[in-house]
Amino acid sequence: MKLEHIVSTRLPTPYGEFVIHGFREDDSGQEHVVLSMGELTGDEPPLVRVHSECMTGEVFGSLRCDCRPQLESAMKRIAAQGRGAIVYMRGHEGRGIGLVQKLRAYAEQDAGKDTIEANAALGLPIDARRYDAAACMLRALGVHRIRLLTNNPLKMAALAEFGIEVVVREASLTAPGPENEKYLRTKAESMGHHDLGHLFE
């Protein structure tokens, strides 16, 4: 995986001022961004969220998933600590199947399937995301050890495989609502996501 760090510039947000770093993968031309705040190197590992793009949730505020509240909460937590990074993965939309295929999976879910069964019914992988680009971007910013904000055990393992030491995992929990309850339950019960089960106790 080769990836070029093209630019870094200021990004003021409601949660504080970040620096946004633009990257492009050499082979595919896929672009990604990292938002950083404060010093990322140094002895204390920074808080990092590796976040998968979700247009429906993040742009339109869809309640079918928990992506937007997770992203906002990560930005707030990083701002509260004054340091950390959001690695925002484009190409991860729909767990890697793409936007329109995700919409087809939603249509299957409206007909009664859960998120796993829906992808399977369309002949698509349940999760096609890769994390080598995320690891490359962190390394390019001098980050080798992190505290990772996630509930997803595969994400932790994949980053470790690509040379990023996850010193500790911190849960990324949001309040479930009627539209995303089934999705969160499936993540907890069938996809092995940590801590989400507590939301339903």
Ligand X SMILES: Nc1nc2c(ncn2[C@@H]2O[C@H](COP(=O)(O)OP(=O)(O)OP(=O)(O)O)[C@@H](O)[C@H]2O)c(=O)[nH]1
Binding residues for GTP: 49-53, 70, 93-95, 115, 150, 155
> Binding to ligand X by residue 36, rule CB under 6 A?
no
Q: Contact 55/89 with Cβ under 8 angstroms?
A: no
Closest separation between CB of residue 61 and ligand X, Å? 13
Site residues for Zn ion, 62-81, by CB under 5 A, read: 65, 67
> Binding to ligand X by residue 155, rule CB under 6 A?
yes
Strands 16-25 and 165-170, sheet pairing:
unpaired
Query: C-alpha angle with apex 155: 154 to 161, nearest 5 degrees?
Result: 85
Burial class of residue 200, CB neighbours in 10 A (0-12, 13-18, 19+) = exposed
Closest separation between CB of residue 8 and Zn ion, Å? 27
> Binding to ligand X by residue 93, rule CB under 6 A?
yes
User: b vs e for 9-24, b when ≥16 Cβ sit within 10 Å of the residue's Cβ?
Assistant: eeeeeebeebbbbebe
Q: Figure out which of the listed residues 87, 150, 156, 164 binds ligand X, where binding follows CB under 6 A.
A: 150
Q: Which position among 64, 68, 129, 169 bears the catalytic label? A: 129
> Binding to ligand X by residue 174, rule CB under 6 A?
no
x/- binding map, residues 17-56, to Zn ion, per CB under 5 A? Answer: -------------------------------------x--
Structure tokens at 75: 């930005």
Q: If we measure between CA atoms, which residue out of 5, 39, 2 comes closest to residue 22? A: 5
Q: Figure out which of the listed residues 37, 115, 135, 159 binds ligand X, where binding follows CB under 6 A.
A: 115
Strands 84-89 and 145-149, sheet pairing:
unpaired
Q: Is 132 a catalytic residue?
A: no
Classify 158 in phi/psi space as left (phi over 0), alpha (psi -120 to 50) or beta: alpha
Q: Which position among 114, 127, 132, 195 bears the catalytic label? A: 127
Q: Is 129 a catalytic residue?
A: yes
Chain residues in the site for ligand X (CB under 6 A): 52-54, 65, 67, 70, 92-95, 97, 102, 105, 115, 119, 150-152, 155, 172, 183, 187, 193
Q: Which residues are catalytic?
A: 127, 129
